[in-house]
Structure 1
């Protein structure tokens, strides 16, 4: 199941409608861990500096797009000596399996974005009655 969740990694992001980005900031592909339980597929997406109100998650057909807009945080009266993080935004796109219950997806954030994608219940076999004409 989890191996059926495909990722699309790109460094240069354009808008889905083919337009250009309006923000002049770099866009990073955030690292993600994918776990599978008996009932769910869980995504953990690392987007440092992104507050809860800066997260945008959309699901269109089978495409799950995660975007994070980070706020520049430069403390006053400090001079940066050694930077390891660059200011920018985040975007990651996943193609979901047909076996995901789209209506049951839940998202939360506590330092790391956590998406729980419940597996759809398997279709039960049913008998189809023949109608007399």
Structure 2
């Protein structure tokens, strides 16, 4: 069952909202991620070599979690680049969060180029009763 949820998260992540445009020019890299379901929440790992907390932005708006930033690499002077696979420049990943995640308790840390996002499950269902008023 965890595999099904992982597939659904990945599927939702790949969909781009209609009308969204990238304001930065050039190539935007898509970091590789792993998503693990724990007993009390979801943990996301993102591979971000060369990134620290100062070159990383994580934003949450309307159930949409965005990880973005910029990675730069200083090549040694006096050398010509013969081959490059290291992604430098802008990076971005966008995820749609489910109602199961307690968005107020999401935490993030980065160590050795690996971002870890902990997203605990909400303590209860987010269902509420809506009172119906009599019309006048």
TM-score (norm 1): 0.75
- SS in structure 2 of the partner of residue 53 of structure 1: helix
For residue 84 of structure 1, report the CA deviation from its aligned partner: 1.6
For residue 61 of structure 1, report the CA deviation from its aligned partner: 1.6
Give the structure 2 partner of residue 9 of structure 1. 14
- 8 Å CA contact 1:5–1:97 kept in 2: the answer is no
Identify the structure with the greater helix proportion. 2
- Supply the distance in 2 between the matched residues of 1:101 and 1:19 (Cα, whole angstroms): 28
Give the structure 2 partner of residue 118 of structure 1. 120
- 8 Å CA contact 2:55–2:71 kept in 1: the answer is yes
Q: Against the structure 1 CA distance between its residues 35 and 18, is the aligned structure 2 distance closer, same or farther, given a 3 Å change threshold?
A: closer
TM-score (norm 2): 0.74
- 8 Å CA contact 1:25–1:87 kept in 2: the answer is no
Give the structure 1 partner of residue 101 of structure 2. 100
State how 1:18-97 maps to structure 2 within 5 Å. Answer: 18-21=20-23, 23-97=24-98
Give the structure 2 partner of residue 128 of structure 1. none
Q: Which runs of 5+ in 2 are unaligned?
A: 126-136
For residue 30 of structure 1, report the CA deviation from its aligned partner: 1.1
Q: Against the structure 1 CA distance between its residues 51 and 25, is the aligned structure 2 distance closer, same or farther, given a 3 Å change threshold?
A: farther
For residue 37 of structure 1, report the CA deviation from its aligned partner: 0.8
Q: Which runs of 5+ in 1 are unaligned?
A: 124-133
Give the structure 2 partner of residue 126 of structure 1. none
- 8 Å CA contact 2:70–2:88 kept in 1: the answer is no
* Cα-Cα RMSD: 2.6
- 8 Å CA contact 1:106–1:116 kept in 2: the answer is yes
